[in-house]
Structure 1
Amino acid sequence: MGIEARGGQGPRGKGSLRRLVKRLTTDIDELDADDLSEHVEAENARKACDCRSGEEVTVLGRLRTVELSPRDAVATLEAELFDGTEGVTLVWLGRRRIPGIEPGRTIKAQGRIAMRDGQKVLYNPYYELQTAT
């Protein structure tokens, strides 16, 4: 009787074993995407894949890249935010650096979605740095 419970037959045993097997056999990017998708729903944000050009949106995700892109003498800080479904490029015009905006950081951004070269973009978004979870 006690052996069965220890062997994964208890009320939490089967689910825990499935989650462990999934974590061990799934690609790290897929696990990260699943985790981010859960946080998006919890923070009342929209999934990037559901956002359309011209809409006022709030998105939440992890910054994959952050780079300075000088365009015709105007500094532009660009960051790719990934929420588990799709990427959104965040663009701050006239900025060379913003404290806390760095790869791996989770942020919530708000603004109006635009399209640039077929990619979703938020220009000068309002943003909140999120604590690590």
Structure 2
Amino acid sequence: MSLRDALHKAVASQEQVEADEEREHALRSTGCVPVASVADRRRASVSGVLRSVTLRPREGVPALEAELYDGSGTVDLVWLGRRSIGGVEPGRRLRAEGLVCSLEGRPTIYNPRYELRPRSGE
């Protein structure tokens, strides 16, 4: 660790240190891009940690929604027709791929392909 990195960690908030660690982890994931750089109506692969997972029906159809955070931003992942998915839970690392669309100003991927990753510390 360089003196600059050590100084940054000493004066940064815990939230900033965690965001830096998530960004570094996401960038090490092969083929993934930072969430902050995903473009509307483009395919993207992203990697991060799930902050929340919620069952939120859409027009009478079950929909599992998850917020993926990679340190640069968040993307919503929505699986239509699903009430739950084994292993998809808050705190879990996940790599997701799909077509990004903007929903109410938030990047969203519907029915993404996904790969569960080891949790922090595993």
Q: TM-score, normalised by structure 2?
A: 0.88
Where does structure 2 lack aligned partners over 5 or more consecutive residues? none
Q: Which amino acid in 2 is paired with 1:27?
A: S
Q: Which amino acid in 2 is paired with 1:79?
A: A
Identical counterparts, % of pairs: 36
Following superposition of structure 1 onto structure 2, how do residues 29-68 of structure 1 map, counting pairs within 5 Å?
29-44=15-30, 45-68=32-55
Corresponding residue SS for 1:33: helix
Task: Measure the CA separation in 2 of the matches of 1:22 and 1:115.
Answer: 34
Q: TM-score, normalised by structure 1?
A: 0.81
RCO greater where, 1 or 2, for CA within 8 Å and sep 6 or more?
A: 2
Superposed CA deviations along residues 51-101 of structure 1, whole A, max 9, x for unmatched, are: 101111100011111000012220000000011011000000000000111
Match of 1:81 in 2: 68
- 1:107 to partner: Cα distance: 0.4
- 1:29 to partner: Cα distance: 1.7
Task: Measure the CA separation in 1 of the matches of 2:78 and 2:19.
Answer: 22
CA RMSD of aligned residues (A): 1.8
Superposed CA deviations along residues 13-67 of structure 1, whole A, max 9, x for unmatched, are: xx47x63x65454322211110111112111310011110111110001111100
Where does structure 1 lack aligned partners over 5 or more consecutive residues? 1-11
Query: Which of the two has greater strand per residue?
Result: 2
Structure number, greater radius of gyration: 1
Establish whether residue 119 from structure 1 lines up as the match of residue 106 from structure 2.
Answer: yes
